[in-house]
Each structure stands twice: as structure tokens, then as C-alpha cells.
Amino acid sequence: MITSQQSLEQEVLQNNKEIFARIVKELEGADFEILIASAWFTDDELFDIVKRKAAQHVSIQLIIADNQENQKLNFEELVALGASVNKIKSVGYGNMNQKFCVIDKRIALHGSYNWSVNARKNNHESIIVTNHTETVTSLINTFHDINQKALLQSGEIIPEKALTAESKIEKHTAKEHAISEFTKVLDSMIAAEIGNFDRTMLGKQGYERSKFNNGDHQVLTKALDTVYSVFINDIDVVDDKKRRLMTKIDEQEIISTNAFEENLSLQLQSAEAEAENEALNAKNKLINLKSEVEKNKQNIESININKIAFHEKSTNEIKEKVRNAQRDFISPNFKWYEFIPVMFANLCLLLYLFIFYSSACYILLFAVEDSKAAKDAGLDPVPMEIFNPKALGLTIEKGGSGILFIFLFVSIPLFCALIKLFTKKQWVIVLMFLFGILLVDTAIAYKVSSAIYQMKYLTGETSDIWRLDMAYKDPNFYLVFLLGAFGLILLKFAFEKLMSIFDERNPDIVTLKNDLLISQMQESIKLEEEKTILLKDEIYSIVRINISLDAEYKITEIILTSIPSKLNLLKELKKTDLITGKQHVRDIATIYKSHVENDHLPISVDALRDRINIFLEGWNDYLHEHYSILIAIEKSREAFDTAIDWQNEKMSGSQIDKRIKI
């Protein structure tokens, strides 16, 4: 019955495209089970969807007619994916003309639509989509009834994979399952024996009754009463049926007992194989766990001995260097043995350059004038010498301007030599030094040699007028250039040496250097300590892994030791199941034979519903032949609702025969 919490959803579809789309939608939404009964199944698109759901481990059970049309699709592909495919032959129970599908025990699609390409593209079809609980349950029971009859007819036992997802059992319920299956088979045998009726004739009766009443559903109740009365009369068992049933019950008792015993034996074999594999896997796992723990321990030892010890040693060595630097830092002793000769060399070179360039200054500025004046006075001219010791005194006699010129003149080459005092840029130092030597000294040498030659010209020592190219032939030019350049180079190196001596004694520079060294070493200590911490963290993580591995090892040991006892317990349970199961099968067989002897055979209500469905098929065939599709569908729905109401009233009011099992 539909509960108050579950609303009834029912829809009639008559457009082929809409029907196909709805079937596709419901199939795609299936979660655990699909039951399909279709006389023709040739639609490859629906077949692909069913295959895909089977691959997703949805339980698929399919019943189709065993005809040539249904050989177009390879249903073995479905079987390979775990589905159950049953082809019904057109003997024994008439033609398999069902057309319905039940999905997840919640919704049913039934009507005239076969799952064929022709039905999708050409025919005029209609279906009802409903979640009516009793309709869904009825179709499920009809499906299993058809399936069991077909299997019984072919002499097969229902394989485990043909069971629904809900009826699949675990190994420890094998006894209950075997008993349940034995009961179902007996019920099916009884239903088949006493429910063998002319299905074609019953369908024709429904057709004629519908024709006679123009499909009026209000008279359907009386017609169903007639069907019920005929059904009850068919339940009565005659002697020849009794004998057949008794023989079949005995045969099925033997078959069920043997199958049950074989099933338990297979389960025990499977359990023993599983236990052996489980034990082997557990042993292998123990070996792997132990190996992994040992490997981790070796890794920890390697980290401690090689890496951490190395970094700790480096840290201690650097710390010792820091302590030594802090403890031993003192200002270096003054190097008098270097300072005195270097200072002396600087003074001598300065004096040398001062005298040399003062002589050059006198020659350039005053020598020519003094020579002319001496000549005019009839005196001997001042001798023209590169090193003239009187040059400084003669220049001083000229007054303050002469002295100023000497200092300015001398300062230019000295500045070029001592450029390091004014800048730290190396390229500037090199450029200015080269400028002082090449340009300044060359210019001075040229002017001095020119002035000396001019004085010789005035005294008559030479008659040629001075030319520019004469400088390169004049020894005075080279003498002045070499003496000046040599003095400048020596002064540069002497002064740099003097500065380095004082730099070493500068407390600020030495302190900065020592502080920088200590800071760098402390950074190195910090880096080494961080590396050590990371390595210790790595060890802690490996230790944690080993703890979990040890715990897993102990659990695996417990599992390994418990496998034999679990297997022995299972064997004892199976032995008990075998004994009690055989006894239950015998008891059930005795009960059913007693029912046969006393004409009190239980029969499933599905047998009654089967007859009602056959009668309604004939009723609906007339409706679809003589009315438009819309009217036929509406009248079919009214007939369906009337049949449901009749069944509910019959069963709920205890008006049904007690032999019918609800």
C-alpha cells in the first residue's frame, strides 16, 4: 500500500520519443537493481546503457523471448558483466509477451512498448510510469515467477548471480537461503502444476468481456470475480496431479539437499583457500613490515652518525673560532722596522721631486729671462742644468710669485702620484696616474728641453731655430721625462706602503673586520643548527612511522594466529548447517506432501495476479483496437485502478481463499 508519506506518482506516455527518453532517464538513475521483461529487445542504444550500468555493478536481470529477432544483440556481453539473461521459449507457458521494467524496487514502466528499434521509430505505443507500491511489487513478483518457471522448465538451478541485490546472501546464511529456495521451488512446482491454464483463451475472454461492455471498467469487478472463481476451482487437486506433485517433491528434496551439501562444500573449500591466502598475505606483510622497520632504524642511525654528527662538529668548530676571535682580538704591534725605511723613502722621494720640479719650474719660468739679462749686462749666463741646486734660491729671489709657481708646479705631478688619497675608485686612480706620468711629465720634459735649447740659441751655441720634432732628438727631453716618471712611480708605491702600515694600525677598521668575521661565523652556526634541527625532525617522523608499523605488525600477528581458529569455527558452523539444513528440507518436504495429501496446497497470490494480468491484457487489446489512443489509455487506466481496488478489497477483507499465500 502507498503510505501517507509517499505520494503516488503515475504518468501515461504515448509519444514514442518521450517513452524512449523516459526509459533512458530511469535506467541512468538506477542505483542497485534493474529488472527488464521485454518480448523483443533489439534497441542497441538501450542495450549500451544497460551494459554500462552492469559495469557499474548494478544488478541486471533480463527476460526476453527466445526468438530470432533477439539474436541481433550480443547478450553474452551482459552475462560477462555479471547480468542474468533468460530467454523464454514459446512452449509450456505460451508466448513471452511481457513488456515492463522495474528499477530499484521503486518505479515501474509497463505498457505496449517493446525495447526495439521498430517500437521507438515506427509503432504507436503507450506506457504507464508509476511508483504505486502494489503495482511495483506485483511486477517484481511476476518477473521472478516467470524467471523461476523458465529455469524450472529447463531443469536449471537459479545461480547466485541471478539473485537480486536484496536477496544475495552471505556464507553464514547458506542454510536459510537453501531452505528459502527449496520452498520457492516447491511453490513454483505447485503453481505450475495446478495453475496450468489456457492463457490465450483467458486473454480472449478479457477481450470479449471488454467488447461486450464497451470497455466499461465498472463491470470489471464481476468479471474478476469470475476469474477468481475459476482460479479457485483449478486449485483443487486430482489424484494424478497429487502423484506427480509427490514425485516432484521427492525429486526436488534430493536435488535441494545435494545442492545445499555441494554449496556448503564449495564454501568450505573457498574458505580454506581464502584462509590460506590470508595467512600467506599476513606472513608476507609481517616480513615487509619488519624489513621496513629495520630500514628505518638504519636510516635513523645513518642520520645520527653521518649527518647530525657532521653538522654538530662543524657548529662546535665555528663556535670555537668565534670564541678565539672574541678572546684573542688585540691591536697589532706597530712595525717600526717597516715604517722607518718606508717613511724615509717617502721623504727622500718628496725632496727629490721637489728639487727636480723646482729646477724645471725655474727653467720654464725664469731661466730664459735671466739669460737675456745676463747677456745684456755682459755677465755669464746661469748654467742650464736639470738639477740646479741654485734654482730654488734664484726663484725665491724673484719674489712671492716665483715661490707660488714652484709649489703649484710641483703639486701637479705629486697629486697624480698621491691620487689614492682622494678617491678609492681604481679606474680613477689608474687614469690619473697615467695622466700624471704620460701627459704632465711629457709636457714638462718638452718645455724644459725647449727652454734649454732656446738659451743655447741666445748664447750662440746653436744657430737652428727650435722645432717641435727636435724634442724627440734632444737628450734633455728624455732625461727630464725619465727622471720625473721614475720618481713619481717610486713615490706612488712608497706612499701606498706607508698607508697600508697605518691602515693596519687603525682600530676602527680592524674592529670592523673582526666583527664582520664573527657575524659571518655566527650566521654559519645558525645555519648548521637549523640543519641539525631539520635532521632531528626527520628522525622523529621516522620514529613515529616505526611506532605505527610496530602496531600494525602486532595486529597482523594477531590476525595470523586467529586464522586457524576462525576456519575451524566456520567448519563447525557449516557442519551444523548441513545437518540442520537437511533436516529442515526433509521437514518442509513432509509438510508440502501433507498439504498435497489433504488437498490444502498453498499457492502464491502471484498466480492469481498472473491470471488477472492476462485477462486485463485481453481487455486492453480491445480498447486499443476500437478507441483512439487517448481514450484507450484513459480506459486502460480506469481498468487498472479498478483491478487494484478489487485486489485490495479481496485481500484486506479476508475474502480470499486461505490456500492463497499473500
Question: Domains in the chain, ordered, with CATH?
Answer: 1-163 (3.30.870.10), 336-505 (no CATH)
pLDDT at 102 (0 to 100): 94
Please state, in angstroms and rounded to a whole number, the distance separating the CA atoms of residues 556 and 286.
7
Q: Are 244 and 193 in contact (CB under 8 A)?
A: yes
Return the SS3 of 63: strand
Which amino acid, 352?
Y
Written as nine digits, the cell of 5 is: 508519506
Angstrom distance (rounded) from CA 284 to CA 378? 129
Task: Yes or no: say if 416 and 444 are a contact pair by the CB < 8 Å rule.
Answer: no
- Residue listed under C-alpha cell 550480443: 74
**Consecutive 10-residue averages of pLDDT for the chain (662 residues):** 55 86 90 89 90 87 83 83 81 66 91 84 83 86 81 50 36 58 69 68 87 86 83 65 75 80 82 86 89 90 88 88 72 72 83 76 74 72 66 69 66 65 70 71 79 75 79 81 76 75 63 77 88 90 89 87 85 81 80 70 72 87 86 87 84 68 62
> Can you list the alpha helix ranges (DSSP code H) found in 329-425?
336-362, 368-377, 391-397, 400-417
* Among 138, 67, 126, 124, residue whose Cα is nearest residue 97: 67
CB 477 within 8 A of CB 447: no
Name the region of 380 (left: φ>0; alpha: ψ -120 to 50; beta: rest).
beta
Instruction: Quote the CA–CA distance of 360 and 541 in Å, as a whole number.
Output: 85
Positive or negative: CA dihedral 137, 141, 146, 150: positive
Interhelix angle for 400-417 vs 336-362, to 10°? 130
Sheet holding 33-38, edge to edge: 10-13, 127-130, 107-111, 99-103, 33-38, 59-65, 84-88
Position of cell 584462509? 275
Residue 84 bridge partners (DSSP): 61
Rounded distance between C-alpha atoms, residue 97 and residue 114, angstroms: 9
Cell of 153: 522448465
Helix, strand, coil percent content, the chain, rounded in steps of 5: 75, 5, 20
- Cell digits of residue 21: 527518453
C-alpha cell at 389: 741646486
**Residue 269, CA distances (Å) to 263, 291, 567 in order:** 10, 33, 11
Secondary structure class of 315 (helix, strand, coil): helix
In this predicted structure, what is the pLDDT of residue 287? 92
The closest of 211, 197, 143, 65 to 611, measured between CA atoms, is 197
Distance between first and last Cα of the chain: 13
Q: What is the pLDDT of residue 412?
A: 64
Q: Which pLDDT value is given to residue 654?
A: 63
